[in-house]
Structures are given as C-alpha cells and as structure tokens.
C-alpha cells in the first residue's frame, strides 16, 4: 500500500546551483542560497588548510534544504518513528548513486553560538573527503578527530570559525576514563575500544580533543608538526613511525594533553571567508512537480524507505516525464535482489534520458555477463562511456570502461584505468582492472604489481580472494597458461 509522498506536492521546490553544489529546496530562495554558500565556504576552507584533501567528491552530493521539522519528518520519517529518538536538524545518507544531505533551514546557529547545528552531517561530509583523499588509510584517531574538529565550523557573513570546542565531548572526557595516548593511536575500526556505542563515543571525544590539542594547543605550536605527520602518512609511511618522526613519542605528550583538557578556555582559528564565492553568481530555477518528486524518491530509496519512494515515484509520473523516477525504482528493485526487473527499470531510465551516471553504469554492469556476445559488449562499452561523460570523476565507470575496451580491442584502455586509480587511490577494484588489461596485453610482470597493490588495499575476504586468484593466474599465464583473465575483475559488487 502506498503512503502519502514524502514532502507535500503543494510545496514549491526550487534548485539553487553553486560552483560545486546543487541544493533542492522547499524553503525560501534566500535560505537555500545561504546553505549553498556555506557549503562552498567549508569546502574552500578544507582545500586551503589541507591541500592534499580531494574536496571534489567522486560520487555526487545531493543536498536538500527543507523549511521546517514537518518537511524533515516527511523526508526522513525513520527518526520520528523511534520512541525517544532524536529529531535531527540534518540527515546524511549514502546511496549507490549519490550521497544525500538534508538540512533544516529554520535552525541556523545564532551569531553568538559557537556550535554548528549541522555538526553530525558536516562530520560525515568531512569524513567522506578524507576517505577519498588518500591511498593509504588514515589512522582512525586522526580521521575521526580531524572530522570532529572541522565538523564544528561556524560560517558567518565575513568570518569563519574553525574548531570551536564541542561541549559534549569535553563533558564526556570529564566523566569517563580516557585512553592513554599509545592505546588511542592504535585503535582501529574493529578494536573493542571502538565497536560499542559507549566506546565509540569516548573514542570520538578523545580523538577530537587530541587533534584539537595538536592544532590549537600552545598557540598552535604543533600544527605544522601535525601537517608533517599527515604528509608522511599519505605518502605511505607507517603511522607509528610517522607520528614519532613528526610529533615525538606519544607518552611524552600525555602530560601536556592532560593539562590541555583541564583548561577552562579553548582557542580555535578565525579566518576570513572566501570572497571569491559570490551568492549572486548562483543559479536559481523552479522545479517541476515531476522533477521534485523524483528527487525525493531517490532520497527515500537511498534510505531504504520503499513505501515513501514508491509514493513519490507515482507522484512524479502523474506530473509528467520523470526519467529519474525509474532510477529510484531500479534502486529499490536492486536492493531487493530483483536483478532482471532492476535491469529493465534502469533501461527505462536510460531510454527516458536520465542524467544519472549511476543508471548507465549499473545497467552496463547488469548487462555485462561472462561470455556476452560482441554486440552486447559494444552496448556495455557505450553505457560506461556515457557514465563517465555524465560524471567525469566516476572511478568505477572508468575502470570498467577500460576493461571492456581491452576485451573489445578498442581505444586505449590503460589510460582509463589509470584515471580510475588516480580518482580512487585507496580502492582495489581499479587496480584489478589494470591487472586484467595488462594481462590481456601479456605484460605479466607489470600486471602482477597492480594485483599485489590491490591485495594490499583489500579490506574484505572476497576482494582478497579475487586479487589472490589474479596473481596466481598471472603467474600461470607467464609460464604459458591462460592468456587472458577468466572473469572481469572491475565488475565491482553493488
């Protein structure tokens, strides 16, 4: 049974476009424009402070600026269904096609406040930037600590406040025992100190405090050393060795860190806004009912809310041509494991003129079967090419396109997979694609190096298995065995 659509059809939805963000909103034009401007400012600040950070995300970020709590509840009802749950001012969710950020525009921080009301979503945004910026995984204390510091960035008309203290972290550290620094630095995502809710809260509080100390303690004396540590880690230096080289022995920082936590006042950085970002240069246009409903359907699909998504899909199709509604439908079918029906829905989206790079990529992936005939593979090639044209930072599409071209013997496949590796330096799949392309070219030694690097980056058993099989196959091929990889390696699981 279909439920009423997520946000009211009677609302007038608009789109505000800045240089790097697209905001869909049922709030006022001024509110939506201000949100786009603020996102541009935090992006600019990260790029200035941490030049190694890749602030242009490979997966699009779809931003919703909603006018009030009622609109947020309609878009993300799950938070109102939980008894005693928090009713958030912002919601972040990752979908296979895009990342989604929804923000209430009626709860901005007052000029006297030093707490960002959207701190949890900014934490997710910064975390995503960090994860996509480096080949070697950043230490957990650093990635979550830096995300925590930057998440509380306050943007005012002329100034940007970076890293005002977060009171709930300080309260927690005053009430619960903290980890000694040598242990804090060794905690990983599977460590017992991080895998419980209470442990994660304490770890995040102390990681935030430690990075805050390194950035702002003693008038910023260690900021340059923290930057040196970051450069060493991102270049592949062992984190423990990098820490000792740049910052010294962890135990030597225990006393100054303890003293820092005991102070009553905490410093932070104040900077001028990026004056090159001008609100008057943003584009503003009204959205038709079909387009607005389709965008909400995609948000609901990403959140796994099939009833709300289907209601919005129906609303979109009643209002007029709605190619993106087919993408939302296909995502629901894909999630349910109905691959043939999903394939048909993605094909409908493509035929209707969808601008979703993911729709073309996913349709190609579903069509790409072992021993597919040349006509099918030629169609797959065209779909992957369209995906890269729609999103020039789509690493998986570049890797897959390169591998298909190597199978068909068209173009220069290696350049495409190298582009994918540059875009996603920490992902193993583009490197497996590179190994396959080189395997078909009979460049076995070079191929093994890419397969070995994929194995070193793998974080799950299936990827490790595929990388190990590729290495074994290449060594066999070099000895006169199989002359081509038996299966495409870059067909990344959905």
Do 381 and 405 meet the contact criterion of CB atoms below 8 Å apart?
A: yes
- Classify residue 431 as left (phi > 0), alpha (psi -120 to 50) or beta: alpha
Element (DSSP H or E) covering residue 368: none
Q: Looking at the structure, do residues 2 and 136 belong to the same domain, yes or no? A: no
Q: Looking at the structure, do residues 138 and 254 belong to the same domain, yes or no? A: yes
Tens-digit pLDDT profile for residues 377-425? 999 999 999 999 999 999 999 999 999 999 999 999 999 999 999 999 8
Tens-digit pLDDT profile for residues 342-353? 999 999 999 999
Q: Looking at the structure, do residues 126 and 87 belong to the same domain, yes or no? A: no
- What is the rounded average pLDDT of the residues 248-268? 93
- What is the rounded average pLDDT of the residues 47-52? 89
Angle between helices 197-220 and 254-261 (to 10 degrees): 100
Could you tell me the pLDDT band of residue 4, with boundaries at 50, 70 and 90? very low
Query: Has residue 77 been placed in a domain?
Result: yes
Q: Residue 3 has what pLDDT?
A: 42
In the block, residue with structure tokens 């009301």 = 117
Name the least confident of 124-138, 222-236, 239-253.
Answer: 124-138
For residue 135, give Cα distances in angstroms to 8, 128, 179, 239, 425.
44, 14, 28, 13, 4
Residue 296's DSSP bridge partners are: none
Residues 6 or more apart whose Cβ sits within 8 Å of residue 242: 229, 232, 233
Q: Looking at the structure, do residues 132 and 201 belong to the same domain, yes or no? A: yes
Query: Has residue 375 been placed in a domain?
Result: no
* Tally of domains in the chain: 3
Q: How many CB atoms lie within 10 A of CB 109?
A: 17
Q: Residue 485 has what pLDDT?
A: 77
CA atoms of 199 and 451, how far apart (whole Å): 36
Q: Residue 461 has what pLDDT?
A: 92
CA angle, 94 as apex, 326 and 144 as ends, to 5°? Answer: 170
Q: Looking at the structure, do residues 221 and 302 belong to the same domain, yes or no? A: no
| 481 pLDDT more than 70 | no
Mean pLDDT value across the chain: 92
Q: Looking at the structure, do residues 216 and 85 belong to the same domain, yes or no? A: no
DSSP 281: G
pLDDT > 90 fraction of the chain, expressed in percent and rounded: 80
- What is the rounded average pLDDT of the residues 176-198? 94
Q: Looking at the structure, do residues 122 and 97 belong to the same domain, yes or no? A: no
In this predicted model, which residue has the larger pLDDT, 29 or 485? 29
CATH of the domain at 423: 1.25.40.10
- What is the rounded average pLDDT of the residues 206-221? 95
Name the least confident of 48-52, 145-149, 290-294, 375-379.
Answer: 48-52
DSSP 486: S
Query: Has residue 453 been placed in a domain?
Result: yes
Last residue of a domain, one of 239, 267, 295: 267
Residue ranges of E strands in 88-246: 90-94, 99-104, 153-155, 159-162
Query: Has residue 102 been placed in a domain?
Result: yes
| 105 pLDDT more than 50 | yes
- What is the rounded average pLDDT of the residues 202-212? 97
Q: Residue 2 has what pLDDT?
A: 43
Query: Has residue 124 been placed in a domain?
Result: yes
Q: Looking at the structure, do residues 213 and 169 belong to the same domain, yes or no? A: yes
Tens-digit pLDDT profile for residues 320-360? 999 999 999 999 999 999 999 999 999 999 999 999 999 99
Residue numbers of the domain that contains 136: 117-151+165-267
- Pinpoint the alpha helices (H) of 221-284: 223-234, 239-247, 254-261
Q: Looking at the structure, do residues 85 and 173 belong to the same domain, yes or no? A: no
Tens-digit pLDDT profile for residues 438-456? 999 999 999 999 999 999 9
Q: Looking at the structure, do residues 28 and 96 belong to the same domain, yes or no? A: yes
Q: Token pair of 372, please?
A: 């597919």
pLDDT > 70 fraction of the chain, expressed in percent and rounded: 94
Could you tell me the pLDDT band of residue 11, with boundaries at 50, 70 and 90? confident
| 113 pLDDT more than 80 | no
Could you tell me the pLDDT band of residue 5, with boundaries at 50, 70 and 90? very low
């Amino acid at each position: 049974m279909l439920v009423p659509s997520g946000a009211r059809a009677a609302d007038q939805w608009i789109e505000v476009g800045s240089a790097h963000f697209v905001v869909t909103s049922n709030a006022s034009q001024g509110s939506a424009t201000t949100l786009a401007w603020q996102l541009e400012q935090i992006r600019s600040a990260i790029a200035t402070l941490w030049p190694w950070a890749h602030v242009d995300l490979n997966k699009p970020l779809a931003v919703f600026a909603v006018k009030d709590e009622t609109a947020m509840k309609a878009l993300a009802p799950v938070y109102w269904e939980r008894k005693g749950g928090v009713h958030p001012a912002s919601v972040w969710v990752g979908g296979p096609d895009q990342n989604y950020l929804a923000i209430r525009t009626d709860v901005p921080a007052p000029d006297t406040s030093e707490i960002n009301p959207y701190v949890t979503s900014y934490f997710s945004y910064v975390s995503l930037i960090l994860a996509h910026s480096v080949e070697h995984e950043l230490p957990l204390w650093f990635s979550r600590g830096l995300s925590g510091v930057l998440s509380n960035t306050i943007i005012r008309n002329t100034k940007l406040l970076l890293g005002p203290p977060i009171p709930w972290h300080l309260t927690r550290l005053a009430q619960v025992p903290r980890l000694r620094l040598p242990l804090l630095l060794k905690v990983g995502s599977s460590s017992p100190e991080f895998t419980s809710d209470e442990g994660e809260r304490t770890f995040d509080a102390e990681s935030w405090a430690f990075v805050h100390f390194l950035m702002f303690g003693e008038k910023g004396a260690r900021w340059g050393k923290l930057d040196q540590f970051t450069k060493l880690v991102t270049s592949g230096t062992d984190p423990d060795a990098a820490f000792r080289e740049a910052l010294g022995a962890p135990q030597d920082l225990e006393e100054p860190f303890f003293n820092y936590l005991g102070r009553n006042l905490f410093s932070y950085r104040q900077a001028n806004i990026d004056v090159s970002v001008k609100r008057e240069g943003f584009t503003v246009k009204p959205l038709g009912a079909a387009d607005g409903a389709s965008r909400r359907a995609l948000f609901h699909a990403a959140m796994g809310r099939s009833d709300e998504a289907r209601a919005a899909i129906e609303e979109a199709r009643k209002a007029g041509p709605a190619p993106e509604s087919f993408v939302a439908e296909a995502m629901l079918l894909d999630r349910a494991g109905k691959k043939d029906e999903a394939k048909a829905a993605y094909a409908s989206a493509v035929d209707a003129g969808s601008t979703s790079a993911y729709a073309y990529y996913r349709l190609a992936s579903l069509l790409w079967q072992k021993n597919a005939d040349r006509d099918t593979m030629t169609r797959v090639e065209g779909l992957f090419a369209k995906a890269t044209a729609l999103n020039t930072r789509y690493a998986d599409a570049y890797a897959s396109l390169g591998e298909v071209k190597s199978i068909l013997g068209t173009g220069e496949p290696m350049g495409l997979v190298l582009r994918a590796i540059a875009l996603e330096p920490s992902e193993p799949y583009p490197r497996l694609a590179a190994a396959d392309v080189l395997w078909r070219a009979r460049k076995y030694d070079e191929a093994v190096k890419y397969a070995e690097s994929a194995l070193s980056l793998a974080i799950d058993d299936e990827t490790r298995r595929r990388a190990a099989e590729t290495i074994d196959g290449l060594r066999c091929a070099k000895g006169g065995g199989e002359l081509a990889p038996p299966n495409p390696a870059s067909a990344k699981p959905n």
